[in-house]
Amino acid sequence: MTLFDRVKYLAEKQKISISRLEEDLGLGKNYLYKWKKNSPNSDTLQKVADYFNVSTDYLLGRSDKFGENTFRPKVQKIARNASHLSDNDLDKLNDVMAAIFKDKFDE
């Protein structure tokens, strides 16, 4: 599996398009498609790895492990959506979650 294939696989698993991934990461349109023929720079590779919570080694095909810290897809989706919030908004979100899930939420 190529680097692009792995990124595409992870995006499909999260039910997002490559275009959405590029937008979320602040990359230009069709930027990731260039990875079919060209190597990425290390900063962008790390951004993609962080987005999917995988190692750069996984993306580069050096490892087939996702890593021990891989979260369920729905948890990743919540984290992705919350990543654009301000610290103040994150505090509010945390308070709402704590109020709704009193018995299951660890502050």
* 62 & 76 share domain: no
What number of other Cβ atoms are within 10 A of residue 21's Cβ? 22
What is the count of structural domains for the chain? 2
Compute the distance between CA of residue 22 and CA of residue 20 in angstroms, rounded to an integer: 5
Which tens digit of pLDDT belongs to each residue from 48-107? 998 988 889 999 988 876 654 556 778 778 888 888 889 999 999 989 988 998 887 765
Q: Output the pTM of the full model.
A: 0.63
Residue 32's domain spans which residues?
Answer: 1-66
Which tens digit of pLDDT belongs to each residue from 7-44? 999 999 889 999 999 999 999 999 999 999 999 999 99
* 2 & 36 share domain: yes
For the chain, where are the alpha helices, taking DSSP H only? Answer: 3-13, 18-25, 42-52, 56-59, 73-82, 87-100
* 12 & 53 share domain: yes
